[in-house]
Amino acid sequence: MSNNITKITSKARGQGSISQFVELIVPWTQESGGVIPVPDGTSDGTEYSIPFGSVEAEATFFFVKNSTGASLAIRMNGVATGWSVPNGASLLYQAPSSVTLGEGMDTALTQASVVTNVLQDGDGSVEFLVLSAPEG
């Protein structure tokens, strides 16, 4: 399979002096995207894996949005990161190339999960999209 090419545009504009514009070309061959339901009454500390599907080698694009109504913690490669994503918030990572593999935790992004911080009040969901590393 040849690489697909995706253009990702990120903008942050508004009052004040910051006006950021990012445009990256992200090659990819596989994708996994969708919505993970988080049912009413889900316990605090419940972990939901983000399905990487056929994305096996490395994610060059990762997006998650919290629509649960409460904050979520993010785990990357099994590591409890410092990201706490409030309701309505998003975390996006994008890379135009693969990493140079290291050892231990210094590695490529191959798995992720979200963890509830409180008892889920009402049905919620988590949106996600993962694109794979390029071929060759």
Partner 1 sequence: MANKQATVKWTLRGDVGIHPAAAEILAIDWAAENAGEVDIADQTAGSTVVTIPFGAIGTEATCFWLKNTTNQDLTLKVSGANNGFRMPPGSTIIYATPVAAGGSTKLTAATVTTTATMDGAQVVTFGILGDPV
Answer left, alpha or beta for residue 104, where phi above 0 means left and psi between -120 and 50 means alpha.
left
User: Should residue 10 be labelled a site residue for partner 1 when binding is judged by CB under 8 A?
Assistant: yes
Residues that bind partner 1 (rule: CB under 8 A) add up to a total of 64
User: Should residue 1 be labelled a site residue for partner 1 when binding is judged by CB under 8 A?
Assistant: no
Residue closest to 64 by CA, chosen among 45, 44, 78, 48: 48
The single residue listed with the structure tokens 């990256």 is 24
User: Should residue 31 be labelled a site residue for partner 1 when binding is judged by CB under 8 A?
Assistant: yes
Nearest CB to partner 1, comparing residues 14 and 136: 14
User: Should residue 109 be labelled a site residue for partner 1 when binding is judged by CB under 8 A?
Assistant: yes
Stretch of 40-48, 49-57, 102-110 lying at the interface with partner 1 (CB under 8 A)? 102-110
**Rounded Cα–Cα distance for residues 121 and 42 (Å):** 8
User: Should residue 84 be labelled a site residue for partner 1 when binding is judged by CB under 8 A?
Assistant: yes
Query: Quick check: 30 and 50 in contact, CB under 8 A?
Result: no
Q: What's the token pair of residue 53? A: 């599907």
User: Should residue 48 be labelled a site residue for partner 1 when binding is judged by CB under 8 A?
Assistant: no
Query: Quick check: 57 and 34 in contact, CB under 8 A?
Result: no
Query: Quick check: 7 and 23 in contact, CB under 8 A?
Result: yes
Instruction: Using CB under 8 A, pick the residue from 80, 119, 121, 122 that binds partner 1.
Output: 80
User: Should residue 24 be labelled a site residue for partner 1 when binding is judged by CB under 8 A?
Assistant: yes
Residues that bind partner 1 (CB under 8 A): 4-18, 20, 22, 24, 31, 33-35, 61, 63, 65, 71, 73, 75-100, 102, 105-110, 117, 127-129
